Structure 1
Amino acid sequence: MRHFLSGLALATTLMMASPLMAQNLFEPVIYVNDSAVTRYEVDQRIRFMQLLNAPGATPEAAEKALIEDRLRMQAARRLGITVSEEALNEGLAEFAGRANLDTLSFIDALGQAGVERQAFRDFVEAGVVWREVIRQQIVPGVQVRDSEIDQAFKREIETPIIDRVLLSEIIIPAPPGQEEAAMNAARQAAANATSEAAFADSARRLSATPSASQGGRLDWVALDNLPPTLRPIIQALRPGQASQPLTVPGAVVLFYLRDSQGTLRPGATEQVLDYATLRVPSAQDAANVVARVDTCADLEARGNGQTLRQTLSQNAIPTLVATQLASLDADETTQINMGGAVDVLMLCSRQPALLAQSQADIPVTAEAEDGVEAAVPDANALPDREALRQSLLNQKINAMANAYLAELHADAVIRRP
């Protein structure tokens, strides 16, 4: 969307890219449960996708998107869901706002590029109505458990913070009048980038930079040295992935991530252990206890108030106990001969120390001169727990919505004339 305005320079070329004969302008090309998708709609969706710089703006992708929109609208009708004019106008304004335009200006810009107002309205209406379908059919049944949040925190803690990346680049010149050709070449290069060798081959053929002779390969670069607008795009890549084409003045750019390096957050390797200890007279007594307990709660009940349960950081646990706990998983036991008595030791749980602190407020690294916190987030801080819960909730909702749409597709009668 941020490249939308630059995409308008392609308008004249795009309008000539897929001419339609007047006599077959509204010829059905697909039926979705007897609802026709016309050739004109496909052409409009292709143009719209191209202007939005959407990946894979092909007839096949446009047909797929239109089929899914038909399924969304049909599902809404079966549920008695309709979109009010007010809700539709809000959706149009929200989408136009992503290009920093009001609705009328956005529609006017689309018109200059050959995209009709109705195509935009249909696209937004399908999205708005689907949102309501999801709200009614899916959201009420989705929950995020505290254990899922803890697991997400653990993954966050164990994932290094990327600070250096090893990139390859392709920079394709796009002088006036050749923007569409450059974008098409970039899209093809992105589609072909199934390996570093394939990307390097495209770089040698297409790129207009000194790195082209090395297959576009660049040296290690600090992430902080990249432009702020580029960092999230690179961070979203995994080694072996290429970015989608990016438009810049006079060129189209592609990046391929060959490798990345990062560091763990301070304290990420520290652990907090929850464990329980019950002292009994002999090894036989210890064996009897172990045979009858499965959890720390069982051990506490078995001890009749004599079980000692503690939650301590690793460096605060006595060395002998810490050594024994190191080999245990949750709810596993071991025995420590104390000379005249035996300790039954059970690990209740272990978690990163940072996870144990995750309920705390997000640290800040700066204060205003008047002493009021400027709320500059600590780069090493974990995400807010409620924000992470919402993120996991959204992931579940999206996954279930996609599964629901796939089910609608499987049940539909989709045919060509």
Structure 2
Amino acid sequence: MAGLCGMSGAAAQSQQGNIIIPPDVTIFGEANPNVRKATAVVNGDVITGTDVDQRMALVLAANENQLSEEDKERLRLQVLRNLIDETLQIQEAKAAEIEISKEEIDQSYLRVASQNFGQDTEAMDAYLKRIGSSAASLKRQIEGELAWQRLLQRNVAPFINVSDEEVNEIISRMQASKGTDEYRIGEIYLAAAPDAQQQVADNARRIVEQLREGGSFVAYARQYSQASTAAVGGDLGWIRLEQLPPELAAAARDLTPGQLVGPIAVPGGFSIIYLIDKRQVLMADPRDAILALKQISINFPKGISDSQAQARAKSFAETISEAAGCGAVDAVAAGIGAQVVTNDQVRARDLPGPLQNAVLNLNIGETSPPFGSIEDGVRMLMLCGRDDAQTPSGPNFDQLMAQMEEDRINKRAQMYLRDLRRDAVIDYN
């Protein structure tokens, strides 16, 4: 083979397992056309081009079809790989005499319809058809997820052991870590064989680009991630950095909620992580406070100039700020023609970020800075009461054990699927 590659036998070679790869290779001919055609027969089960098209439509819809033709072609190949994995999972479940009933699939489909269309499956059917997908395609995905979960419950979960000592050690660490940060993280994990590292890394980088352009992390996790958390949009739940692999912990440490980073090389592949939220261990989160607020607002007349609006907003803010608390603000507002709306059940975390921070720093009777626009008018919020959240006790023993078991099941599941791929007979058409 060295002669065919135009290399001497003394050329340096890198070894990965039993696969010998020369440091410099010459590719003869075009890449294998089999990997470019979006149909396959997996252990006798056919995946058609239509199957790929309809599953692609789900991802494209989540990204408002804002992908280049090159990205769509890469997406097509990834969707085919996902369908192959899904087929292997369903086949393995059936071989273990695990059957997912039509009723179970329909119930899950109804839940999806309920979340998006108020329990209207007809509207869901019409939406899927409109975007180029189908109810059958989504139900097939649901079947694959249910089959794999049930298979893991039977063939993997019973052999996962987490000792009481391990759980108690984590609890002790949590108590010692009181006041430190914990993170709610989403992950997209892409497995990469030693000879496919560069290809998978490139694919992961494109996913990151598409997510930063507005793609749905949950949708991408469901379609791309090869971790068992794909079924829940990649959500790992609340964890401390010590529970993550060192590579992910280092990357997550400096993220702020809403940020993502990746691809990150981890054992067996690459991960993309997204910080959903952040809080302090065993400490009440100020954003969980329930606020009693009064919103005071005025509208601008049509045609008002920017300078006139600025002057009126300044006068409005000065007048409201001088009101002697919530008991007097109604009369002050009425005197200048302002409207007052009261709400005593506002969660701080439901306010927009900058306004959230401003209101949480108020004392009772103080007002936020004015905000708004010429079109919507100007508004201020006055804090009339605040009920802070109670200090959480953290996960109990059983919850923590379940979390640790789930993490180990996830790792074993990745190995299980890798073995299924290795043993599969796949013909590309």
Q: TM-score if structure 1 supplies the norm length?
A: 0.43
| Max Rg structure | 1
Q: TM-score if structure 2 supplies the norm length?
A: 0.41
